[in-house]
Every structure is written in structure tokens, then in C-alpha cells.
Amino acid sequence: MTITEKLLAAHAGKKEVTPGELINARVDLILANDITAPIAIKEFERIGAKQVFDPDRIAFIPDHFAPQKDIKAAEQCKLLRDFSHKHNLSLYFEVGRMGVEHALLPEQGLVLPGDLVIGADSHTCTYGALGAFATGVGSTDVASAMATGECWFKVPESMKFIYYGKLKKWVGGKDLILYTIGDIGVDGALYRAMEFTGETIRALPMHARLTMCNMAIEAGGKSGIIEPDEVTKEYVQARAKRDYTFYKSDPDAEYVEVREYDCSKIEPVVACPHLPSNTRWAKELTDISIDQVVIGSCTNGRLEDLREAAAVIKGKKVNPNVRMIVIPATQWIYKQAMKEGLIEVFLDAEAVVSTPTCGPCLGGHMGILAKGERAVATTNRNFVGRMGHPESEVYLASPAVAAASAVLGRIALPEEVVN
Amino acid sequence: MIIKGRVWKFGADIDTDAIIPARYLNTSDPKELAKHVMEDADSEFPKKVKPGDIIVADKNFGCGSSREHAPIAIKAAGIQAVVAKSFARIFYRNSFNIGLPIFESPEAADDIKEGDQIEIDADRGLIKNLTTGKEYPARPIPPFMQELIAAGGLVEWTKKKISA
């Protein structure tokens, strides 16, 4: 069996499962945010459940339109707060403690290897980086699971991606996943578990693994997953407050498809409007002028991402035609970035640094594009209207490419800026 | 179940931001959401669509976010069903959970034109083009999904489960 099949079998109380099989499985953690939780709360009440299955296994994180951007958003956030108080949820994160959900939960040790996690947010697949099975569902699924502690799943077929070769300088997790999506398309892994493996992955630090699994959904994947190893152990052992399990794929595990990539040939990648699969090498796009740069989100708002951007922009200024918005994904990242002097680097470059929020990634607030404006963002989607006006454009890239682009006012390579 | 209506056509990879842009997600009121349905795919659509209409689209309909607001907006606008070559996974699941009938049929998606009148026989898995007289098979609904529909959606199914 694959790591995904083993993990699902264990949570369904079965010895084995096969792709296509429908199972009812126990969930270790359920999450929802200020957009999806209000519907989940309403449906939970419609179910008529008196209490949640476990007040320590439900995470409510107001991060999309928080800090509350208007009255309607404030009303939505208040529903989360009131429900959390009523049901004594220990994992409610108020502004000041919250962060972008998929950065916050792994950082706090709340998602661990071997966990089965569902979240009413499509980027829940991020946690596969820790060797967990994690997938996005809707609000009604969350409501049902909050009442029962279980959720139904169709066991997905697994698709294996083998990465080998040494990465070039300035190439990282974002480039690998964009390259992969560019190869298979936005529905190339529809309904499937994407298992990332190979020597390049084993050498990849945790933040880059999180970035890769985060974007499995952009290829239609049900989940992304990486076998836990020493890197995983090092990341979780200081954070975990409960036991965890390392599952591994058997040598004879079956895959519906296997793809191999020589990473020594991969260069910085940019996804052009209006699909994450519309990828080009960054070097082919250096004549494209930009109006805004966003560095942040559940994809690339981690400390290492800020370090990468700071390394490029240190001592330079943001181009006069560009707004640069940096959003550390959590309070801890914010504070750490301050201690390391990264915030000062951004401020000296004349970028703004925001409190944690999903904000501009989904066109919510904190950096919305006007008609005809163009952004380079380290976020995950470049659909029509994603960051603002339907006639604005988003180019997806790594923190290094985004920072270099901010300096030159056009899509740029890091080596054009860094000596 | 027989569903009959006029068709609006859409292309491939219609994402949930096109179905209901995030700028309107500071509410979950179905009536409010319906006012902006499909707005970023066709800005005139909320004005043109009439209750009883059907959407027919190409592959990977509903890709992107997990927002249940997407099938809710479609349903609240009075759209009876969506036919597509394929659906993105979370949208597919959400549609069943909230009771929006959806059908996978590559043949229907290719052949049906905007403005055609079609009739969907959900039990037999058959889509009929009343304008041209052609028929197309729809992929059968998985048995568990049928169980969910029979129970009246996931909420009713869970209600039964927790009271059992």
C-alpha cells in the first residue's frame, strides 16, 4: 500500500484499503476559517448536535478577512468567536494569536505525521508535507465531522512524482511545484493523491515541502504527501504535544502514474495569468512591467520565504512604480523576522509589512489591484479577479523572483539584483 | 428526477473565484451570493440567468477554493443543474452535500449549444437535447452519493447517524 492508503486504512479501522473504496474514517483535526466556518456553524446547528465531538480537535482561525476588514466580515468572525466560546474550543485563534491557518497549525505542532486532517479550505493539503493525509472539504462536511469526529472519503489513486538532481541557486519548492503543475495541468491530478519523492525531495527543507504540498490542489489533487524522514522528525519533535506515526509507502505500492523530473534543469518558474498551469521560465518574462508585489500567504509566508526575499532586496529600494507588501504568515514568524532584522530590510527598501492575514491572496483586503494592474505574488492562484479587479493580472512566483521584480519594476531574476 | 431547462455554456477550468468572487464572501447569505453568480466569467450573467436554467461547461468545473458558497450561489440563482465534462473534487462533494444536482457527460458538454433546451433524466443517467433531438449518456452517480441524496443531503444523513 501507499503511505496514503496505509494512513486512511488505520483511521478507518481497517487492515487495508484500495483506491475507489468508500470509507468512513476518524479525523484527528478539523479546521475552518472566517469564510467557511459560518456556514459550518449554521449546518452544525441544523444537524441538531448538542456538542462537538472533541473541543480540542477543532481549529477555528479567522484569517481571510481578519483583522476584520468591514462590518460584514466582523459579523462573520464574531460567529467563530461565539461558537468557540460556547463549545469551549481550545483551538480558536483570535487576532493577535492567529496566523494564516496552514502556516500556523504546523508551526504550533497541532498537525503531526500520520494525522488525518480535514479543513474547510482547499489548501488544507499543505500538511501532507509532514506525512499527514490532509484534504480540503466544504463547510457541510466540516459540520458533520464536528458532530461525529468522522468523515467519509473515497480512497484516492496515488500518483508518484520523482524528483532528482541538484537544485540551481534561487530554485526551490515553489519552482518545483509550479513546474509540476505546468507539466500536468490544473486537473492533471484530479481526485488523486500526489506523492512527492526522490532525492531532491529528501534534501528539501520543511518550508519548501509545505509549499509544494500546499499547491497540490492547483493540479486538482485531493492531497499532496511526502514520506516523513529525518527532516520531518527534526521539525515536529520540538513542537509535538501528542504522539505521531510515520507511515511509509511499501516498495510494491501501486501508482496510477509515475513522473520523473530532472531538477538540475529547472530554473525559476512563473505562472502567468490566469491559471497556475500557465507556466514559463522567469527569464522569458523580463519585459513584463508590474505594479505590485505580494510576499506572503499559506504558500510562501514562512520565515525562510521572508529570509529569501530579504536576501534579494537588502540594501535596494522597491521600484518607484511598485507597491511591495510583505505579510509574515504568523505572529511567531513576524517576531522572528523582526529579531533577524528582516523587517528592517523590508522597511528600508520601502516595502510595507502587514499583520498576518490571507488578505490580498484572495482579493480580500490589504493590497487589492485596480483595473489593468499587474502583480507578482508568492501566493497560489492567479485566476481572473483573484487579487482584485477582473481585468487585473497575477503572476505567481517564488519569494526571490518576487523580491527581484519589486526592485526592477518588472518580472526579474534574483541574479539581476544580487551581485 | 427529470430536470428540464435552457442552457448557458461555459468553458474549461471555471474556478470558484469566477463562480463567486471572494470580494463577496463577507456574507454567506444565499440571496446575496446569487446576485453575483458567475460574475467574473460573464459580468452580465446574474442579469441574464432565469430560474430553471442549466449550466453546461467543459472540464474541471469548480476548481480552486473549497468555498461552499460556489454551489450555493448557483443553486440560489435558481439554476437547476450543472453538466460538465468533469468537476473539481471539492466542488463535486459540496454540490452533493448541499443538494445541487450535477452530471458528468463529456458528450453533452461538447455537443450542447448555448440556448438549447435540454432534459436530464437523473435516474436513467440520460441527457436529451430537446432542440436537436440528440441524446448523451451521463456518468452514473456513485451509490454512496445516491444514499446521501436519498437521505436528503449530508446534514440529514448525519442527523440519522448521531441519533442512531
Q: Which of A108-117, A340-349, B140-149 has the lowest mean pLDDT?
A: B140-149
**Residue B21: pLDDT above 90?**
yes
Task: Share the mean pLDDT of chain A.
Answer: 97
Residue-level pLDDT at A266: 98
Q: What is the model's pTM?
A: 0.97
Q: Which of B15, B60, B94 is closest, CB to CB, to A383?
A: B15
**Stretch 290-329 of chain A: residues touching chain B, C-beta under 8 Å:** none
Check CB contact under 8 Å for A144 and B18. Answer: no
Ranges of H-type helices in chain B: 16-19, 30-34, 45-48, 69-76, 89-98, 106-111, 143-151, 154-163
Q: Which residues of A touch B98 (CB under 8 A)?
A: 138, 140
Check CB contact under 8 Å for B60 and A70. Answer: no
Residue-level pLDDT at A351: 98
Residue-level pLDDT at B106: 97
Q: Packing angle between helix B89-98 and helix A139-148, nearest 10 degrees?
A: 70
Q: Which of B40, B67, B93 is closest, CB to CB, to A385?
A: B40
A vs B, Cβ pairs < 8 A, gives 141
Residue-level pLDDT at B123: 83
**Residue B152: pLDDT above 90?**
no
Task: State mean pLDDT over B62-67.
Answer: 96
**Residue B149: pLDDT above 90?**
no
Residue A412, C-alpha cell as written in the block: 526579474
Under a CB-based contact definition with an 8 Å cutoff, are residues A107 and A332 in contact? yes
Smallest Cα distance from B133 to chain A, Å: 32
Check CB contact under 8 Å for B68 and A121. Answer: no
Q: Which residues of B touch A39 (CB under 8 A)?
A: 28, 68-69, 72
Task: State mean pLDDT over A311-339.
Answer: 98
Residue-level pLDDT at B153: 82
Query: Among B25, B58, B98, which would you mutate to test the A interface (most chain A Cβ atoms within 10 Å of its Cβ)?
Result: B25
Task: State mean pLDDT over A59-69.
Answer: 97
Nearest CA in chain B to A44: B155
Residue-level pLDDT at B163: 82
Residue-level pLDDT at B130: 98
The confidence band for A392, taking pLDDT boundaries of 50, 70 and 90, is very high
Give all strands (DSSP E) within A123-263, no chain letters: 133-136, 150-154, 158-164, 193-197, 223-225, 257-262
A296 vs B153 pLDDT, higher one: A296
Residue A281: other Cβ atoms inside 10 A: 15
Q: Which residues pair with A152 in a beta bridge?
A: A24
Q: Quick one: what percent of chain A has pLDDT higher than 70?
A: 100
Q: Which of A22, A36, A390 is closest, CB to CB, to B68?
A: A36
Residue B63, C-alpha cell as written in the block: 476548481
Check CB contact under 8 Å for A48 and B89. Answer: no
CATH fold group of domain A3-261 = Aconitase; domain 3 (3.30.499)
Residue-level pLDDT at A18: 95
Check CB contact under 8 Å for A220 and B60. Answer: yes
Q: Quick one: what percent of chain B has pLDDT higher than 70?
A: 100
Task: Identify residue A324 by its one-letter amino acid code.
Answer: M
Check CB contact under 8 Å for B90 and A138. Answer: yes
Residue-level pLDDT at A70: 96
Four-point Cα dihedral A68, A69, A71, A73, nearest 10 = -60
pLDDT tens digit string along B109-120? 999 999 999 999
pLDDT tens digit string along A177-233? 999 999 999 999 999 999 999 999 999 999 999 999 999 999 999 999 999 999 999
pLDDT tens digit string along A326-366? 999 999 999 999 999 999 999 999 999 999 999 999 999 99
Check CB contact under 8 Å for B66 and A364. Answer: no
The confidence band for B124, taking pLDDT boundaries of 50, 70 and 90, is confident
Peptide bond into A67 cis (omega under 30): yes
Nearest CA in chain A to B42: A390
Residue-level pLDDT at B141: 77
Smallest Cα distance from A155 to chain B, Å: 13
Residue A116: other Cβ atoms inside 10 A: 22
Cα separation values, A374 from A163, A272, A280, B10, B148, Å: 32, 11, 17, 26, 44
Give span(s): CATH 3.30.499.10, chain A.
Answer: 3-261, 269-416
- The answer to whether A118 contacts chain B (CB < 8 Å) is no
Check CB contact under 8 Å for A76 and B66. Answer: no
**Residue B144: pLDDT above 80?**
no
CATH fold group of domain A269-416 = Aconitase; domain 3 (3.30.499)
Nearest CA in chain A to B164: A148
Residue-level pLDDT at B145: 79
User: CA-to-CA distance for A371 and A245, rounded, in angstroms?
Assistant: 49
